[in-house]
């Protein structure tokens, strides 16, 4: 399945129809159950963004989905990255839209691009 993630379980692609023969409840024979994966499939054209060789001298934007203490976690990630890459510049999450509805938009991507970011730290888990 070229271009799609490997979604095989037990040797069968889960996004294809599956036919299973099973004994019927009655004595008249067997039944056929058809099961289909409801999640569908998406074509993946690029698994991940190309990796930077270093964060030294790069501009790193932060985006926050505004959950699970992001106001504490993102500054801590920034602090740790600054220790490791002292010449990196950071654009804090407060400069961009927040929340899943705010960061998962073309507008947010445009703002990050216009800000000159080479990389983005996106958080936080919910």
**pLDDT of the residue at 22:** 57
Residues shown for the chain: 126
| Sequential DSSP letters for 29-75 | -EEEEEE--TT-----S-SSPPPPS--TT-EEEEEE---TTHHHHHH
**pLDDT of the residue at 35:** 75
For 58-117, write each residue's pLDDT tens digit: 999 999 988 778 888 999 999 999 999 999 999 999 998 888 888 888 899 999 999 999
Q: pTM for this one?
A: 0.60
For 30-75, write each residue's pLDDT tens digit: 777 777 767 767 777 777 778 899 999 999 999 998 877 888 899 9
């Amino acid at each position: 399945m070229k271009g799609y993630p490997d979604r095989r379980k037990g040797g069968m692609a889960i996004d294809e129809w599956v036919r299973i023969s099973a004994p019927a409840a009655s004595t008249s024979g067997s039944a056929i159950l058809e099961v289909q994966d409801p999640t569908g499939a998406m074509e993946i054209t690029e698994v991940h963004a190309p990796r930077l060789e270093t964060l030294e001298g790069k501009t790193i934007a932060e985006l926050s989905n505004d959950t699970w203490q992001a106001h504490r976690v993102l500054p801590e990630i920034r602090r740790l990255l600054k220790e490791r890459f002292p010449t990196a510049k950071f654009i804090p999450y407060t400069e961009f839209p927040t929340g899943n509805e705010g960061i998962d938009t073309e507008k947010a991507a445009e703002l990050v691009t216009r800000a000159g970011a080479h990389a983005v730290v996106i958080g936080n888990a919910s």
